[in-house]
Homo-oligomer: A and B are copies of this chain.
Amino acid sequence: MNNLLDGINETLLMGPGPSSVSPTIYSSISKTTIGHLDPKFIEIMDAIKAQLQILMGTQNELTIPISGTGSAGMETCFVNLIEKNDNVLILSNGVFGGRMIDVCQRLGANVDSLNQKWGHAITADMVKEKIANTNFDLIAIVHAETSTGVRNPIEDIAPLINATNALFVVDAVTSLGGLEIQMDDWGIDALYSGTQKCLSCPPGLSPVSFSQKALDKLMNRKTKVPNWYLDLSMIANYWSGKQRAYHHTAPINMVYALYQALYDIIEQNPKTVFQKHVDAHLYLLKKIEQLNLELLVEEKYRLPMLNAIKIPHGINDMEVREPLLNQYKIEIGGGLGDLAGHVWRIGLMGYTAQNKNIDRLFTSLKSLL
């Protein structure tokens, strides 16, 4: 019988994620599976909490990976923190801001949004104007908008939100491990991420952290969380309670991979890893200029790990991306929504963020353009 897995060859993943996975992680994910209540596994769970606290800049007790991909982290934050008719504000400038609106509406929130043009950042001034004389229960924003390559300046926006009673929720799917995050200093109440971006793990887990204020909201809900699987009040008993009460079976081998990914970043020093992303971005920029290409986003708000390049006039998106994938074994991303056909998204995340990969991409691109 033909086994399709035999046909899988190494592909350089330079799209919006998953990013290429480092060899240390492949060997971790295939370590022997042990039980989810085994004391050795519980030790690994505790270590991951401490590792995530470092990368997220937080002391939050409730800091754990959720058993699902990044979008499960988004769902987790909102389903635990929103009750019907809560007033929610989404600061949106891309696909993932839009997704937040959909998630919150499904949960029965009254959702208002501040909609910035895709490719442009949401600034503190815009937020200041929007939230003056309002009373939101929760305000959410995407740190690194993967659909456009925009970095929203959450460190500038944070004090404005902290001055209100609103819970402050941040999507750090693409930023965690690639950009500095200071959850406690910035007064972020709930933050979620994914493993397949700057952590360079395969997709499958979503690190999440809740502040005491978020936890208070959760514990004082009038109604049960309308989602058993993602009910953090129960999951917390497994991940950090004294009893380690069984909730659901954790994805053991994915947890190994996440542990290793965090281990590698901390061993290298997170600051060094952040700088690596900046350096790779600057190297990419040089290459882009050499080919007379342009980035979508203005310099101030560019993400180092996700670069949206404008597709030159007269060039067909798929006529480049298809041979790039099939002949050159390099995956880059296309645009989403209105940007489909107009941009390529080049990911420089984690293990992918190396000059030799950028060289390989541009040698190939050059021959295709």
Contact = CB atoms under 8 A, between A and B. Distances in A.
Interface of A: 1, 3-5, 7-11, 13, 15, 17-18, 20-21, 26-36, 38, 40, 43-44, 47, 67-72, 74-75, 79, 99, 102-103, 105-108, 194, 196, 202-204, 224-230, 246-254, 256, 259-260, 263, 266-267, 325, 331, 336
Contacts of A225: 106
Given A106-B227, A254-B204, A28 B5 contact: yes
Contacts of A331: 34-35, 38
Contacts of A34: 8, 11, 13, 331
A32 B18 CA distance: 11
Given A253-B29, A259-B4, A71 B35 contact: no
B47 A4 contact: yes
28 contacts: A1-B267, A3-B260, A4-B259, A5-B256, A7-B40, A8-B32, A8-B34, A8-B256, A11-B35, A11-B38, A21-B32, A27-B30, A29-B30, A33-B202, A67-B68, A67-B69, A68-B68, A69-B248, A69-B251, A71-B229, A72-B229, A105-B224, A108-B226, A202-B252, A203-B252, A204-B253, A227-B227, A229-B230
Contact of A202 (B3, B5, B251): B251
A248 B226 CA distance: 21
A246 B68 CA distance: 16
B5 A33 contact: no
A5 B357 CA distance: 29
A18 B133 CA distance: 53
Given A251-B254, A254-B254, A229 B75 contact: yes
A106 B33 contact: no
| 3 A-B pairs with the lowest CB-CB distances in the bound complex, closest first | A204-B251, A30-B30, A71-B248
A63 to B, nearest CB: 17
A32 B10 contact: yes
Q: Is the interface of A mostly helix, strand, loop or mixed?
A: loop
A268 to B, nearest CB: 11
Contact of A8 (B31, B203, B224, B336): B31
Given A34-B331, A71-B229, 13 more contacts: A1-B267, A11-B35, A11-B38, A27-B30, A29-B253, A38-B325, A67-B204, A68-B68, A71-B249, A106-B226, A204-B204, A204-B254, A251-B251
A75 B5 contact: no
Contacts of A253: 29, 202, 204
A228 B44 contact: no
Given A5-B260, A26-B30, A249-B196, A228 B71 contact: yes
Contacts of A99: 228
Contacts of A28: 5
Contacts of A69: 67, 248-251
A249 B38 contact: no
B202 A75 contact: no
B103 A249 contact: no
A345 to B, nearest CB: 12
